[in-house]
Amino acid sequence: MPVITCVEDLKRIYKRRAPRMFYDYAESGSWTEQTFRENTTDFQDIHLRQRVAIDMAGRSTKSQMIGQDVAMPVALAPVGLTGMQCADGEIKAARAAEKFGVPYTLSTMSICSIEDVAENTSKPFWLQVYTLKDDDFMKRLFDRAKAAKCSAAVITVDLQMLGQRHKDLKNGLSAPPKLTFKSVTNMMTKVQWGLGMLSTKRRFFGNIVGHAKGVADASSLTTWTAEAFDVSLDWDRIREFRKMWDGPLIIKGIIDPRDALEALNVGADAIIVSNHGGRQLDGALSSIRALPAIMDAVGDKIEVHLDSGIRSGQDVLKALALGAKGTYIGRAYVYGLGAMGEAGVTKALEIIHKELEVSMALCGHTDVTKVDRDILMIPRDFSDRWQ
């Protein structure tokens, strides 16, 4: 086993071990992938201010996200098809998050169901939900989350229709994967992945198949999915979802200050500044570049989190210094999962934690909750370059 010191090391192993269609699913954006790239590269425009001769003993990365104690202000983001990256992937990721002391967010489009994850973990997790037209399905989804003792719901509002991701179309992405000459040839080279998949019964969308009306198998799922997303979604509809769920509510997919104000008005407990990892509107602002204006608009009225582009503890530190109270990693933990299963997710969390703790100390802070903009050197036009 090679020495693993950064998330990029996990990514290289993941690329070797995961089937091409699932690697491409994680490692891609929509259209030209401009936003996908800038989500990470824009962090590099922000520099850190090093301080010296400051007592660095007694460092703490402990914080809270929506009132819940966390070992560091980093949650595992909802990622669809996680159970295709590694057998029982959602269960493994949730276990790793639980042991590390950070939140895990289960996607509605997961392979393992809400019940699967609840049965195999001992602490509450969060559930991400899409804004679907089927009221009966949505109500039962929230009821299932309550029965599983999920401690927060994360409503994704930026997927009324699917942004085109060229690689997924060319690869014929599906769960379970379609058996074509190309896919079978590739999967035959991924022995460890294949053995894992043979050992599990979880190969379909566990939250959908058998729960949505008329969806009993993969063929009927395709038709349901094409019709399920609500292109007529508006904020009144989101208020209806707020009534279905009386627990802590997070709204994910905010990239414009005007939408941040709308999210505040529907009674959300937090918002996530996110462009869906660059997978929806290509050419949209990166999340980190959008964050300052959103903080100016609502930062003193609602808890603001950030998702999309985080690959290191330094990225986390920069987001926190700009005012975010929490951050999310998606691809970074998927790299670990696809590379080494549960141990790989733990490794990704350990790497990010160490980078966050060391960088925070070298910037003159020992308490992550006290970090502020003073540790940053930000280009003058970073957040107001455009008219």
pLDDT tens series, the chain, 387 aa: 689 999 999 999 999 999 999 999 999 999 999 999 999 999 999 999 999 999 999 999 999 999 999 999 999 999 999 999 999 999 999 999 999 999 999 999 999 999 999 999 999 999 999 999 999 999 999 999 999 999 999 999 999 888 999 999 999 888 888 889 999 999 999 999 999 999 999 999 999 988 988 887 766 776 777 788 889 999 999 999 999 999 999 999 999 999 999 999 999 999 999 999 999 999 999 999 999 999 999 999 999 999 999 999 999 999 999 999 999 999 999 999 999 999 999 999 999 999 999 999 999 999 999 999 999 999 998 987 776
What pLDDT does residue 354 have? 98
What pLDDT does residue 325 have? 98
Q: Domain 7-375 belongs to what architecture?
A: Alpha-Beta Barrel (3.20)
Which residue, 376, 355, 354, 375, is CA-closest to 365?
Answer: 375
Residues 68, 75: Cα–Cα separation, whole Å: 11
What pLDDT does residue 218 have? 66
Which residue has tokens 């509510």?
249
What pLDDT does residue 387 have? 60
What pLDDT does residue 11 have? 98
Catalytic residues: 276
Domain ranges of the chain: 7-375
> Is residue 81 within 8 Å of 175, Cβ to Cβ?
yes
Provide the token pair at 37: 């790239």
> Is residue 229 within 8 Å of 156, Cβ to Cβ?
no
Peptide bond into 73 cis (omega under 30): no
What pLDDT does residue 168 have? 92
pTM: 0.96
Residues 144, 333: Cα–Cα separation, whole Å: 26
What pLDDT does residue 219 have? 66
Residues 316, 314: Cα–Cα separation, whole Å: 5
What pLDDT does residue 216 have? 76
> Is residue 215 within 8 Å of 224, Cβ to Cβ?
yes
Q: In sequence order, what E strands does the chain have?
A: 47-48, 63-65, 68-70, 74-76, 105-106, 126-130, 152-156, 249-254, 270-273, 303-306, 326-329, 376-377
